[in-house]
Amino acid sequence: MLNTVLIMLLVPTAGLGARYNSHLVKGWSNSDCVRPWQQAQMSKPTLRIPSRAIECHPDDHNCPAGRNPVCQYSLRSQKYVCCEDKKDADIPTCPKYYETLLLPCGNSVDSQCPRGYRCLGSLGDDSIKLCCKPNRTLEYREPEHTFRENRIVPRLLPIAPAYELIATFSDEQISMGQLFDASIIEKLADPPVMSAGVELQDEKLYTIILADATSKAVTWLVANIAAFDGQLEIHRRTKSAVSYQPPDETDKPVGMHTMILALFEQHDTWSQKDLARIAMDDFNFGEWLEEYAHVLPGQPLAATFYGYSTKKDDRKRI
């Protein structure tokens, strides 16, 4: 009888491992949560007992409040525990015009998904396979969808902007995600002319920041910008906290650099002390916005992103 019970316990685990044979399951032995973008909700440590994953019952919905908390069965601890999304989690979604069922299907085998769903690579990371259901009636909000599709949000920028920032370099209006390779990098020699896509309020102040997400450096920062007749008042006499630094073919690292240009509507006026304390190297948007939440909101009013390369773009044309 004992042997029979042992077999019953082991077979489902082996079956799950075979079913989800992908890089998604590699971390299961070290995590209580099946979904790689989630982490266990932990109890508070005491003098006697260390912090541990909070246990739950799938029918009681008794997990603490958090970021999309859910009661999941832990393959590691063999019990149900509370899991929540990691902070700034890059939660995978299905390709455009497919409904997302957050169920991994590691081998791209449709039979692993419910009826009507297909096993497809997720948006922005084809190595993560999810169950997806076609639906041509789905609507997508811009510019959020493009920021997520290109994995700018939330990996580099925590929250998508409300509007697309229209930026013009050398009389050329750029599109989101446009690449300037080494042969045309001189077009980025001067700061862009910008329009927020929405009328600005003359009684408010604004911040413009341009950050190189690849080298983690701030390459332009203008604070306490006034608006006049609904447009930004940036001119040669406007003092920059960080002067515009144009890209160059000698920039490190070699290759493509992702640039994020964002406009924020300020809560308050920047002090010179705060501006002087901003870390221009090893820059992180999320940490910066948290530290200066008294000045800036978490969501940009408008933003765009583009890239430049220190090399000529010799990728094969499709």
Whether residue 316 is predicted with pLDDT greater than 60 in this model: the reply is yes
Q: Is residue 113 part of a domain?
A: no
In terms of domains, do 171 and 277 share one?
yes
In terms of domains, do 79 and 176 share one?
no
Q: Is residue 202 part of a domain?
A: yes
- Residue scoring higher pLDDT (169 or 238): 169
Whether residue 18 is predicted with pLDDT greater than 70 in this model: the reply is no
In terms of domains, do 55 and 148 share one?
no
Among candidate residues 205, 187, 206, 204, the one with its CA nearest the CA of residue 303: 206
Whether residue 28 is predicted with pLDDT greater than 50 in this model: the reply is no
Q: Are residues 80 and 71 in contact, defined by beta-carbon separation less than 8 angstroms?
A: yes
**CA distance linking residue 287 with residue 283, whole number of Å:** 8
Q: Is residue 119 part of a domain?
A: no
Mean pLDDT of the chain: 87
Of 58, 85, 112, the position where a domain reaches its end is 85
Domain that holds residue 7: 2-85
Q: Which whole number is the average pLDDT over 209-214?
A: 97
Whether residue 104 is predicted with pLDDT greater than 90 in this model: the reply is no
CA 179 to chain centre: 20
In terms of domains, do 30 and 164 share one?
no
Among candidate residues 111, 229, 234, the one with its CA nearest the CA of residue 168: 234
In terms of domains, do 272 and 161 share one?
yes
Give the model's confidence band at 29: pLDDT under 50 very low, under 70 low, under 90 confident, else very high.
Answer: very low
**CA distance linking residue 269 with residue 277, whole number of Å:** 15
Q: What is the pLDDT of residue 106?
A: 73
Q: Is residue 153 part of a domain?
A: yes
In terms of domains, do 70 and 207 share one?
no
Q: Which whole number is the average pLDDT over 256-282?
A: 94
Among candidate residues 225, 221, 209, the one with its CA nearest the CA of residue 266: 225
In terms of domains, do 195 and 289 share one?
yes
Of 68, 85, 102, the position where a domain reaches its end is 85
In terms of domains, do 171 and 288 share one?
yes
What's phi and psi for 270, nearest 5 deg?
Answer: -65, 135
In terms of domains, do 65 and 149 share one?
no
- Measured between alpha carbons, how far apart are the two ends of the chain, in Å? 62
Q: Is residue 316 part of a domain?
A: no
Number of helical (H) and strand (E) elements in the chain, helices listed first: 4, 16
Give the pair of three-digit tokens for residue 150.
């290109």
| Residue 190 belongs to domain with CATH number | 3.90.280.10
% pLDDT > 70, the chain? 88
In terms of domains, do 161 and 43 share one?
no
| Tally of structural domains, the chain | 2
Q: What is the pLDDT of residue 197?
A: 84
**CA distance linking residue 286 with residue 112, whole number of Å:** 37
**CA distance linking residue 65 with residue 68, whole number of Å:** 8
Q: Is residue 194 part of a domain?
A: yes
Q: Is residue 131 part of a domain?
A: no
Residue 163: partners with Cβ closer than 8 Å, 6 or more residues away: 143, 196, 197, 198, 301, 302
- Residue scoring higher pLDDT (279 or 252): 252
- The answer to which of 85-94, 114-123, 242-251 has the lowest mean pLDDT is 85-94
Q: Is residue 91 part of a domain?
A: no
- Residue scoring higher pLDDT (151 or 316): 151
Of 85, 101, 127, the position where a domain reaches its end is 85
Q: What is the pLDDT of residue 182?
A: 95
In terms of domains, do 72 and 203 share one?
no
Q: Which residues of 135-167 are buried (b: 16+ CB within 10 A; e: fewer)?
A: eeeeeeeebebbbbbbebbbbbbbbbbbbbbbb
In terms of domains, do 30 and 179 share one?
no
